[in-house]
Amino acid sequence: MLSPRIALACALALGAVPSALAQDTQRFRTDKVEVIVETVARDLQNPWGLAFLPDNRLLVTERPGRLRIVDPEGNLSAPIGGLPRIAARGQGGLLDVALDPRFAQNRLVYLSFAEDRGEGRAGTSVARGRLSDNGTALEALQVIFRQEPAYTGPNHWGSRLVFDRDGNLFVTTGDRFDLRNQAQNPANHIGKIIHIKPDGSAAPGNPFLNREDARPEIWSLGHRNLQSAALNPATGELWTVEHGARGGDEVNIPQKGKNYGWPIISYGVDYSGAKIGEGTRKAGLEQPVYYWDPSIAPSGMAFYTGDKFPAWRGSILVGALAGKLVSRLETNGNRVTGEERMLQQLGERIRDVRQGPDGFVYLLTDSRNGRILRMKPAT
């Protein structure tokens, strides 16, 4: 049996410290740079979403229904009060968090969550409230969007929050595991990208504003379960990544009014192995920019624009749950030109990926003992 010192040396030679020996810092090789991954905070239960406050503290959600502030030393605040009624079951609970673009003036925080609608039903909702001056509560909380209809099932809620350059909000939803083509139906919010003003009303320019048979909040349709979304900093366009079934995870650039095919077309198959829909292509339905087969179960994404990893500028960093990795996608315009899979030796389900104001990359690990991690260059 190897001594701990020899085992550690062997692990370092292979490019990572195994989790049994790891403390707060691990070192990994990637194609372009050697990185250090350090623990910023721990003891979070299934953390889901992350946002950076102007004073360098972090807001983090925990899926069971807690919102906390994390200071630069990694200390967790007590749970913030004033949250809405949250249905914490299955894949649902408290999900994403985003700051209003004018947070410095209005202190508004937006949350997406599985909302308990009564009688065993729940749906993806978005609420906003003012973070109190002492940071202990959300004040004057309002639910500004409710996905309709609500379901009894526990899966496929979406749901990322992204502000566009005009200050309107994109909300990604899931298909709620409903294969009856509801993602194709513009009369509901199932399997759609939603585009709303900060008060929850439909954003100007939405494609279905003047249709009586469609929801005016819809931006695009035909989606399965979107758990990654970010604005391309070069163009201002929304990019998303959504879960397929067995295979068929997709990168898309959702355009207003367009149909992305689920469940009529897919590059995956059903969990039973059965064919889904009509194949991989059909006229009038959009093709993905990139897809994974087999699935990596993507969640959380960020365009890297910082100065700490210059070789990564322009790349998209995507977390993976089942894949337990970070996928770095190289891009050229609206094309994905290559992929590097990183941090597989970490052995963690990666729920969210964010670039911090300091230019480092922050990750959330999805477990009952979840952590906030920071990825830095090794030199």
CB atoms inside a 10 Å sphere around CB 133: 9
Side-chain half-sphere CA neighbours of 164 within 13 A: 19
Say what percent of the chain tops pLDDT 90: 93
The residue type of 177 is F
User: pLDDT at residue 23 above 60?
Assistant: no
pTM across the whole model: 0.93
Q: Which domains does the chain have, with CATH numbers?
A: 45-289 (2.120.10.30)
* The pairing of beta strand 226-231 with beta strand 238-242: antiparallel
Residue range 48-61: average pLDDT? 97
The residue type of 300 is G
Residue-wise pLDDT for 286-327, tens only, equals 999 999 999 999 999 999 999 999 999 999 999 999 999 999
> Which of the residues 156, 195, 223, 243 is marked catalytic?
156
Residue-wise pLDDT for 73-92, tens only, equals 999 999 999 999 999 999 99
**Residue 156 designated active-site:** yes
pLDDT at 102: 98
pLDDT at 12: 37
Say what percent of the chain tops pLDDT 70: 94
Give the per-residue SS3 of the chain: CCCHHHHHHHHHHCCCCCCCCCCCEEEEECCCCEEEEEEEEEEECCEEEEEECCCCCEEEEECCCEEEEECCCCCECCCCECCCCECCCCCCCEEEEEECCCHHHHCEEEEEEEEEEECCEEEEEEEEEEECCCCCEEEEEEEEEECCCCECCCCCCCCCEEECCCCCEEEECECCCCCCCHHHCCCCCCCEEEEECCCCCECCCCCCCCCCCCCCCEEEECCCEEEEEEECCCCCCEEEEECCEEECEEEECCCCCCECCCCCECCCECCCCCCCCCECCCCCCCCCCEEECCCCCEEEEEECCCCCCHHHCCCEEEEECCCCEEEEEEEECCEEEEEEEECHHHCCCEEEEEECCCCCEEEEECCCCEEEEEEEECC
Residue-wise pLDDT for 170-217, tens only, equals 999 999 999 789 999 999 999 999 999 999 999 999 999 999 999 999
Residue-wise pLDDT for 33-48, tens only, equals 999 999 999 999 999 9
User: pLDDT at residue 344 above 80?
Assistant: yes
Residue-wise pLDDT for 123-137, tens only, equals 999 999 999 999 999
Residue range 257-281: average pLDDT? 95
